[in-house]
Chains A and B, each alone.
Chain A
């Protein structure tokens, strides 16, 4: 997995609560059996005026000029600023894949839906929770100043503004460690194989019916 230590990037403000995963990456693009290539269809229904099709060349499609990512001042963004309950809806990991593929490294919001939040960490994308008031401030700052950048320092767990203001955020120690080092979680768990096997043996003794063959 891609490591995340500290990142400084231009911020895109997506001023909308409850952004769901269907909005982040509509279902027709989930038919891909790959993990990459979703960036061009990120926020497809908000970004383009026509209906997107899988495997389509998006360069000539009519753009929704109003949409934040289509405004020239937000070219090259890598930090997404969003409202509460970001990423609600389905478990599709295609949502963080699409954000990552587009070039985002971090999403800042007052709250996230659980599964999306979890999925971000597996893909080197850092979700940061800041309180609603701080997020409001950042929205204003970002809209007021073209090219507004934030630094997200995972090691120190702070978001730093260009003026030097710092906002602390929480992150669970295990996830932090994995992200900082870009660790392979499966490899980590497999280091505990012996413990898992011991558990499995006693689990089977207690609940033998859970280990019966499935009917084919």
Chain B
């Protein structure tokens, strides 16, 4: 028998039924719910008079719409100023009550961005199938879980049947060998991968990230990488289970204990690709070649190392691409050939399901420590991924480092990642952001987003423009 990939194994262990027409029913172990993509699914259940199949498989938390200022958070749902946001968060609350679904509600310290909360609580475990009405569900693949985003109709389908109608994806391996340079992080790896294969490079695939550079990453770093698999077009990102994974999961509130724990670990350690397995596509990168990355355009593939320049559309042979570059430069207000380090910034956002975990905040704090936010920066904010991340950061004194440097320390949520709450860019403003999408208008109407790592965002905050974070690290070393 030929070897199987990690994805093949996870698929096989959840396959309820293959149908003759090529579709399959896949069993879903965990569904995560948030307020934006679930109301119509619950409404659908009600209209059809259906009940959830297995209530206990579901876990909910509001994140996209929640305000992040202390004053607006104090009163819970009633305190949300925007009436439309308030109704949406209230609807999630009502639906969870009605159906008996566990929710970490707004005032609960465990509330946060759904992709931070799942792993943090041990509600995401290796070997699970995890779905959520959110494309960044790919994040959970860092645990060797088969996790992907689904639409609202599918949320309803999973609620009602505990299954998803799925089709097997292709296997892609992205191998990153070698040692990362100082100041180069998981975010830079994944941006470099997207720069190489493009935003549609992984379409139809489950990407497994392998190689010594991935193995030496923390779980936070692996989550950052899998989180952005979707930005390379792949619904699924994966990393094999190893000791790091198991150590992270151990002792989490929802993690197994006692003899269940032993049995689980035995199984989890089989969750890796067999040596003789064959991938449909292979991509390789050398860790040593990766420098801190900055996106200059309106798609995550429009990315370059910080020491490079904005590209010139006239040098591009492919006309569709050249047109894309022209349009992006107009939107971004940039000149062809301009150095990335010459881009003046207006705001800085450190947060999102890509980079709002404790390690991300530590990286950013290390850079701003003892420095001040540049005068030209209108606002720099740090938004922890969950109430528990916030608490831990405060215990480590990171909040004080940020506040002293002139950054705002906020309450947990998605915040300016997509600007569904009050946190957003003004028209024409440039933002160094640790989030995952630089689409037009993503962070506010007419806003201009540059995706970077937490360390690079912190460096940008104190210098007012992009700078190779390694230069700052040398200064303080």
Contact = CB atoms under 8 A, between A and B. Distances in A.
Contact of B149 (A115, A185, A190): A115
A90 B152 CA distance: 12
Interface stretch (B196-204, B307-315, B384-392): B196-204
Interface stretch (B16-24, B281-289, B337-345): B16-24
B305 interface: no
A118 B39 contact: no
B445 A45 contact: yes
Interface in B442-477: 442, 445-446
A203 interface: yes
Given A18-B199, A85-B233, A91 B17 contact: no
A178 to B, nearest CB: 9
Interface stretch (B84-92, B357-365, B371-379, B397-405): B84-92
B123 A214 contact: yes
Given A91-B134, A122-B154, A177 B320 contact: no
Interface string B251-263: 0011010001101
B22 A174 contact: yes
A196 B16 contact: yes
Interface stretch (A3-11, A30-38, A61-69, A142-150): A30-38
Nearest to A52: B445
B97 to A, nearest CB: 12
Interface stretch (B157-165, B211-219, B220-228, B272-280): B157-165
A23 interface: yes
Residue of B160, B200, B260, B440 contacting most chain A CB atoms (<10 Å):
B200
Contacts of B256: 209, 212
Interface stretch (B68-76, B125-133, B171-179, B180-188): B125-133
A172 B21 contact: yes
B203 A113 contact: yes
A196 B162 contact: yes
B324 interface: yes
Given A33-B39, A177-B21, A212-B254, A189 B102 contact: no
Contacts of A210: 29, 125, 128
A51 interface: yes
Interface of A: 16-18, 20, 22-23, 26-28, 30-35, 45, 51, 54-55, 83-85, 88-93, 96, 111, 113-115, 118-119, 122-123, 172-175, 177, 184-186, 189-190, 192-193, 195-196, 199-200, 203, 207-216
B445 A189 contact: no
Contacts of A92: 36-37, 151
A37 B91 CA distance: 18
B420 A88 contact: no
B203 A85 contact: yes
Q: Closest 4 interchain pairs by CB? A: A209-B256, A122-B153, A33-B39, A119-B151
B381 interface: no
B163 A189 contact: yes
A36 to B, nearest CB: 10
Interface string B1-34: 0000000000000101101011101010100000
Interface residues of B, number: 81
Contacts of A195: 16-17, 25
Contacts of B419: 27
Given A174-B21, A189-B163, A122 B102 contact: no
Contacts of B23: 172-175
A83 B327 CA distance: 15
B16 A186 contact: no
Contacts, number: 197
A125 to B, nearest CB: 12
B22 A186 contact: no
A189 B87 CA distance: 32
B156 A186 contact: yes
B235 interface: yes
A88 B233 contact: yes
A210 B129 CA distance: 10
Contact of B27 (A193, A199, A208): A199
Given A22-B439, A88-B199, A209-B256, A200 B27 contact: yes
Contacts of B125: 209-210
A173 B203 CA distance: 20
Given A18-B199, A199-B27, A33 B87 contact: yes
A115 B151 contact: yes
Contacts of B102: 214-216
B193 interface: no
Contacts of B149: 90-91, 115
A172 B161 CA distance: 22
Given A174-B21, A199-B17, A215-B254, 16 more contacts: A30-B420, A31-B36, A33-B43, A84-B320, A91-B151, A93-B40, A111-B203, A113-B233, A114-B203, A114-B204, A172-B23, A174-B22, A189-B157, A189-B160, A209-B260, A215-B253
Given A119-B153, A192-B25, A91 B56 contact: no
Contacts of B299: 18, 20
A214 B437 contact: no
B267 interface: yes
20 contacts: A17-B324, A22-B441, A23-B440, A23-B441, A30-B420, A31-B87, A51-B446, A84-B320, A91-B135, A113-B203, A115-B150, A118-B150, A119-B152, A172-B167, A173-B23, A186-B50, A193-B161, A196-B162, A211-B56, A215-B121
